[in-house]
Each structure stands twice: as structure tokens, then as C-alpha cells.
A and B are shown apart, each in its own frame.
Chain A
Amino acid sequence: MAVDLSVVFCGVKFENPFVLAAAPSTDNADMVARGFEAGWAGAILKTTSVESEVVSLAYPMMVGLDIDARRLVALENIDLISGRHIDEVEKDVRRLKKDFPKKVVAASIMGAKKEHWEELVRRLEAAGVDLIECSFSCPHGMPEKGMGSAVGQSPELTEKTARWVKDAAKRVPVIIKLTPQIADIAAAAEAVKRSGADGVTAINTVKGLMGVDLDTFVPYPNVGGHSTYGGISGPAIKPVALRCVAEIARRVSIPISATGGVTTWRDAAEFLLLGARTVQVCTEVMRHGFGVIEDLTDGLANYLDDKGFASVEEIIGKALPHVVEHSQLPRDGKVRAHVDPEKCIRCGVCYVACRDGGHQAIEFGPDRLARVDEEKCVGCGFCPTTCPVADCLTLGPASAGKGRAAS
């Protein structure tokens, strides 16, 4: 059965929920055109500013984090906004809207003062953008000039600045890209709501420091013997992004475009279930190209169909009722770890994990089969995360009459 992947976000129709995030992959019309041809529903052009804003890039600007064989678990960048002139960006918008009238062309803007924001909105709206995203959230380079996350970290500044933009926009919806570098991201989303702006994007990169070269003592990336903090993206930040999206969705009635660590359609589905209406992707596209859209849409459509949903709209926010405060969690369940002896490969990893990280509830005898002592097991859930075999060590109800009450 055909599944309707389209969504409406801030009044704008997207043929599917997948949007290219403001990033190197959207820094010129040729690249975006290729993205559209591959199947992306929309693109947010790399952040631009007024011509007086000097963009002074430092190279190298990116460094990855590998864990074992897994490359690029996270990506750090110290890139800045687009180095291209606003005139060029306007031309790109016109061309893209002409060539791809059904695709959503959005601009990302960043200004240092009210007049800048107003000028950017005026020019890009005139050029024909469908949506304007404001970066209040870049964690590097811009904050020291009072821009980027320097704005997003203050709900007052967020509200004030968002209102400038919203007031300047005649027809185009305005969304604000938020930073996770804030104690209460929902408060920032509330500020956006108060400003009258139309939606939020959550989240921008997480400020971090990727590592230190043990030979030179210079942190990464090494820019002529020095380094600085950067913005972390990629799979590693997905849990932070999911949490931010859930916090906003639970407290603020405002459309959310989610971004942060989306690699597969599964990640995207999780964001949708937690209340996002569109999903932006950057790092995975940079790594494996615009073609990743094929499985993002195909996988999502098959998932929805398998679950009996006819459209993306039907699953948005479906997980939210299950998110509660810790104090509201039920305390009466009794779950215990269970080992499938048919699947157990006798490695003993769970034994060590429970011995040194848990409750000494797993026995490991001469036959090397892990056995759970249900009297000692509290069902903490750690051991299944260590088992190398899929569905071998699982949590389930305690055997009848066994197990003590969890506390």
C-alpha cells in the first residue's frame, strides 16, 4: 500500500520529512540540485549573513571520532557561516525555485543586529525562499561576536531577536534553530513561541573538544599549532537531540524540525515519534552522499506500512505519552535478565559486567553458560547491553515466585 510520506511544517508542504540541513552540502545550488534530484524534500541553504559580516575561516575545520572499527561516530567542525556573498545566495534561491518548484528552499540566516536580520529577511523573501531558519545556535566562532549560541542561550535575547525576524517577514514562515547548550531548551522554545515565530529546529551541534594529539599536545583540529572548541554532530549526539525534541514537544505547542545524529530511517522515525515534523540530516549526507535519501524514504515508508500507518502524520508524537518524569515511573514491575542457552556463545562478557558493574547475579560455571540468579538480579538492564549476540540476553518478567521487589 502506498504510504503518504508528505508532511506540512509551518504551513509549508514537504513531499517527505527529509531536509538537507544548513551545512557544506547546501552551500551552492549545484549541490542542492543534486540533492533534490536524489529525492530530498527540502534544503536549508548554508547560513548566510549581510555582506559586512566578514567570514574568516580556519583550516582544517573538521575532525572525526572513531570507536573501534566504527568510523565517524561523531564529527567536530569549526566551520563558520557560508563564505559566499549574499548576492550569490539570492541567485541560488531563484534558480532552485525555478528548477524545483515543488521542493522546499529555505535560507538560514544569522545577523549581528536588528538591521542585519531585517535586511536578510527582506532580500531572501524577495528571492523566493519558502522558509527562513535563524541560527541562534552555532557554538563556535559566532558567539564571541555576540551571535549564534550567544543568542540562543538567553530566552530573552531569543524572544527579542526572533520577533525582529518574524516582524520583518511578510509572507515566509520563520523558524529558530536552537542550541543544546542551555539548561532548559524548552524555555528557549517558549521564547520563540512568544515571539510569534513559527517553529523551531532542534538541535544545532553540541559544543565539544574532540581530542588531543598525544605527540604535539595540540587538540584537534590542529590549526597551525592551536585549536578551539567546535560543534559536535553525528550519531553520538542523537540521544541529546532526541531528549531536546521530546522536552520541547512535551511543553511547547510549536512545530519542530529535528536534527542531530540522524543516520538511518530508524533514527528519523524516532524523532517523528517524539514530535518532530521534519528531520534534517547533515553529517550522514556529507559522508555518504545525497543518495542516502533513498533508504531514508524507502525504509520509513516500509516501516509505516508494516505498522499499518498510511502517512507520516499519523506517527508524529506517538511516543510522547510514554515520556514522563522519573517520579512518575511505575515501581511495581519485576523484570529479570534471561539468557537464551541456545544463543549464548559462552563468552562470559555478561558475567564480568554483572560482577563488576551490577549485582553479582550472573553465574558462570565450567560449561561457560551464563545463568541468571533471579534472587539477586534486580533487572537493572545493563547486561543485555553487553551481550554480543542479538536477542540472547534479554529482560522479561521474573519467573513465577522468583525475584525480590525492585527498589
Chain B
Amino acid sequence: MTERVTRDVSVGLLPHQAAAEAGRCLYCYDAPCVKGCPAGVDVPAFIRKVGSGNWRGAARVIREANVFGGTCALVCPTEELCERECSSRLLGGPISIGALQRLAWERGTAGGVKAGAGRGAGADPGADAAGTAAGGKRAAIVGAGPAGLSAAWELRSRGWDVTIYEATDKPGGQLDWTIPPYRLPPEVVAAEVGAIVATGVKLRTGVRVGREAAEGLLAENDAVILATGLGGGRASGAPGEGRPGVVKAEEFLARARQGRSTRVTGTADTGGDLSGQRVVVVGGGNTAMDAAVTAARGRATRVTVLYRRTAREMPAWPREYRGALAAGTEFLWLVQPVAFESAGAADGAVKAVRCVRMALGAPDASGRAAPRPIPGSEFTIEADLVVMALGQDPNQEIVEAFGLAADKAGRPVVDPSGRAQVSAGALPAGHVLKAKVFVAGDLGNGGATVVRAVAEGKRAARAAAGELERAAPREEAGSNGR
């Protein structure tokens, strides 16, 4: 078997390297990196503290803007966000903001996630959120992923009574579900989720909010924030997709993160071990890259990614693509599965993927060249496990339960604050629609970054608290020097 390089949680910066890196920061006025951060972390402020060795203060600055600052330091595509805007990119290359944030979080929270001594008491709601300062305001949050937890933290810090309804048995959402552990260690998630729950959030796990429950929430709360994530992996529609051995990427990654067997056959729990298995991943997004790397790390004999366009059109970030290549993944471009075959296996499990070659035609609605099958180009590749990473559908269940106005794609329609419209007739006669309803995270944005989910949760909470209307513009920004 070929030895493969597998990307891991990188070693990161050592403190003296961080001091040197911090020393490169220009401390820009109205810093572009802050604008590049969906959560609006005051990057120059925390880097100055890294440079001075004020680790606690640095962690506090990060956390004030992003309650998942430790998580995002590990999973943010910083080269697509803050670092892409960094003024130093024109000098010696962008500052390694993500690496600095990671070290700041690690060292600044080493004694537990807590408030800075230099700030007024209560500045960090994570430490000791107020009780009823908001005059008995109540919020229901559906979904305990990064968006819902972020909203909960914000509202608790304002004294709201917050209850989160979570369908699974624990909080964390995608953080503790599909993100591979080599990118995001469980202890980081546990620390940040734990600190939020510890503020006095009422957490109800194992609760799926249906139509009836939704009516109650809408009638009894001042705000309802929907942060359930998407509706599950898309199907290709190709024959044989239901065979054993054809799994959705979300399920595959969740099993791998939990250390459960990712194999199809056999009853023994072999953890993530895939030795002897030929794995085919279908799709070209970041989830496909995660699945490919996870399979490679599981010592699969061969990992092949099928994508119907080329590397140029692939939605995966360059960093993720490079990681998959480094892990030894093989890519077949302009290839689409047309059938999943068992080759006569007794259990009907997949043994091969029948594929067709594609050609790129005129741009489609996404602006990318539309792939079309080339007649007569079919071929077959062997596979013991097929991972389907075709993106996720909108969450119809939640849209219907809450009677949300949705667009043609089935996605909830929201205003810039994330506020959704509840259709007339969503409530039976006699019920009063008390709650303002907001959508945050993947449910509304169709699937994006953790940091964006966190930012949307924060935004929804601030809008619920009526703060967005009176929020002042950024200090002096654009004052043109006068």
C-alpha cells in the first residue's frame, strides 16, 4: 500500500514565531481584514495583544466578536476571508491571521474560557450571563449548531431566557458531526459549546420541532431563531443508489468523526479503518474533499473523486483540493456516475460505478460551463464504497413546520437581518403570532462557513433584541480624515 501524506491539524505557530508574525502586522486604519471576517473580529486589536503577550486579552477580543473563535481559527478558510484582504499581501505576503488566532485562543483560554480582567464585569457573557435583565424576554432557538449557539450566547448575554431545541442527542451541529476530527478536534468544540451552554441556556436534545411544536414556539416566544442547517445530502438519481455501500457524505463523515465503522460489509466495528477498500467519492465541493481525505486517512486502497466538470469549475477551495491531492486522492474530471452496480454480489452491495464522460458546453445558471454526457463514452470503475457529496437540499421540513415564505429553491426568504416571514395561516385560529422569526446559518445561506453561521446567529440575536436599527456606523470609518 502506498504511504500517503495526510493533512492534519497543523502544528501551528510557536509563541516566539507568533510574536514575529504579529510584528509584521501594519495595524491598518479601518482594517480590511476585519471586513473580510464575517464575524467582524477586530484582527489588528488581537494581533497587537499577541505581540505584547497579552494572550487573555487577545482571546477576549476574538471571542467578543466570535464565540467560536477557537473553532474558526482551525476551520476558517482564512485565505478566502481575512487574509485575502490583508494589506501586507502586497508586501511580504498576508499575515497568518488564522494561525495567530489559533495560538491566541489556545493560550488565552488555557485557564478556561473567561473574561478579561481589564474589562468591566459582565463584558464577557460567557462567564456569568445576567439572569433576567431583559425583562423576561424569551427566545426559542431551533438547532444547536454554531448559528443557534451563537444566537443563544448573544441573547443570554442580554439577559434573555433562551431554550434551544436540538434534534440530535447533543449540541454542536456540524462542528461535532461532519467536520473531520483531524481538522477540528472534539475538545475544542466541547470547550466552546460548553462555555455557551454554561451561561444558562436551556438545552432540549432529541427534540424534532414539527408543525405543532412550531405553533407553540411562535406563540410563546419573543423571538424564534431557526438554525437547523440543511435538509440532508442530495441524491444523484442514478440507478442503484440505494445499494449497500453507497452512502451520503454527511453520514460517512459523521460516522468517521464518531469513530464508528465507515465500512459497509461486516459487522465488526472497525472504526475508520478502510484498508482493502476502493472508495469512490462523487462531487467537487469541500465536503467531497473532506470525504476523500477521511477515506485516505482510513487507509483505503484507492480513493477516486469523480467530478462532472474540471478542477477549474470545482467549488472546493484550493486549500481543500491541495489537501486531497496531498492525501493521495485520484481525480477523474468530466466524469459522472450513471449507475451503481453490484456485479452479482449476493448482498447486492455496490462493487462498481458505471460512469459516463462529460463535455463542457455553454454556461448554465451558475455561470459555469454546463457538462453534457458524451454518448458512447461509458466505462466502469471498481468500488467497495461510494460516497455521494453532491451538496444538501434546503430544509423543507422546517420551512413547512414554521410556515416560512420560501423561494423557488425551497430556501426561506429573509431580510438583511435574517428575519423570515411567517405565512398567513401558519397559526391556527386563536393563536397569536408573538415571535419575530429569524433564520441563521446554513438553513438560510444554503451552506457556508462556520464563521458565517456564527455571524448570522449573532446578527439574528441582535436584530431580535432590536439593536440593528440603532447600531451606530463603525467608528469614524469613511470620515475621510476630516
Point out which of B26, B32, B88 has the most chain A C-beta atoms below 10 A from its C-beta. B26
**What residues on B are CB-neighbors of A368 within 8 Å?**
30, 32
Determine the residue in chain B with the shortest Cβ distance to A389.
B91
Q: Are A348 and B28 in contact (CB under 8 A)?
A: yes
Determine the residue in chain B with the shortest Cβ distance to A343.
B90
Chain A 364-388: CB-based contact to B (< 8 A → 1; otherwise 0): 1110100101000000000000001
B23's partner among A69, A351, A352, A355 (CB-CB below 8 A) is A69
Interface status of A38 (Cβ within 8 A of chain B): no
A68 to B19, CA, bound (A): 6
Interface status of A347 (Cβ within 8 A of chain B): yes
Q: Are B28 and A347 in contact (CB under 8 A)?
A: yes
Determine the residue in chain A with the shortest Cβ distance to B92.
A388
What would 15 more interface pairs be, CB under 8 Å, given A347-B28, A360-B481, A388-B88?
A: A68-B20, A69-B24, A345-B90, A345-B91, A347-B26, A347-B29, A347-B87, A348-B31, A349-B26, A355-B481, A362-B481, A364-B480, A368-B30, A368-B32, A371-B481
List the count of A-B residue pairs having beta carbons below 8 Å apart.
62
Q: Are A68 and B29 in contact (CB under 8 A)?
A: no
A383 to B480, CA, bound (A): 17
Q: Are B27 and A349 in contact (CB under 8 A)?
A: yes
**What residues on B are CB-neighbors of A313 within 8 Å?**
none
CB distance from A339 to the nearest CB of B (A): 12
CB distance from A65 to the nearest CB of B (A): 13
Among all A-B residue pairs, the 7 with the closest Cβ atoms: A68-B23, A348-B29, A69-B20, A363-B481, A347-B87, A347-B28, A345-B90
Chain B 27-54: CB-based contact to A (< 8 A → 1; otherwise 0): 1111110000000000000000001000
Q: Are B30 and A348 in contact (CB under 8 A)?
A: yes
A324 to B19, CA, bound (A): 41
**What residues on A are CB-neighbors of B21 within 8 Å?**
69
A70 to B20, CA, bound (A): 8
A388's partner among B22, B31, B32, B91 (CB-CB below 8 A) is B91
Q: Are A364 and B19 in contact (CB under 8 A)?
A: no
A355 to B91, CA, bound (A): 24
Sort chain B's interface into a size bin: 20 to 34
A345 to B21, CA, bound (A): 19
**What residues on A are CB-neighbors of B32 within 8 Å?**
346, 368
CB distance from B118 to the nearest CB of A (A): 15
A345 to B31, CA, bound (A): 12
Chain A 155-186: CB-based contact to B (< 8 A → 1; otherwise 0): 00000000000000000000000000000000
Interface size on A, residues (CB 8 A): 24
**What residues on B are CB-neighbors of A366 within 8 Å?**
478, 480
Determine the residue in chain B with the shortest Cβ distance to A355.
B481
**What residues on A are CB-neighbors of B88 within 8 Å?**
345, 388
Point out which of A66, A364, A389 has the most chain B C-beta atoms below 10 A from its C-beta. A364
**What residues on B are CB-neighbors of A362 within 8 Å?**
481
Determine the residue in chain B with the shortest Cβ distance to A363.
B481
Chain B 333-351: CB-based contact to A (< 8 A → 1; otherwise 0): 0000000000000000000
A-B contact pairs, 27 of them (CB 8 A): A66-B19, A68-B23, A68-B51, A69-B19, A69-B20, A69-B21, A69-B23, A70-B23, A345-B91, A346-B28, A346-B87, A347-B26, A347-B28, A347-B87, A348-B28, A349-B26, A349-B27, A349-B29, A352-B29, A355-B481, A360-B481, A362-B481, A364-B29, A364-B481, A368-B32, A388-B87, A389-B91
CB distance from B263 to the nearest CB of A (A): 49
CB distance from A340 to the nearest CB of B (A): 13
Point out which of B21, B29, B478, B480 has the most chain A C-beta atoms below 10 A from its C-beta. B29
**What residues on B are CB-neighbors of A355 within 8 Å?**
481
Q: Are A345 and B87 in contact (CB under 8 A)?
A: yes
CB distance from B286 to the nearest CB of A (A): 30
Determine the residue in chain A with the shortest Cβ distance to B89.
A345
Which residues of chain B from 442 to 482 have any CB-CB distance to chain A below 8 Å in the complex? 478, 480-482
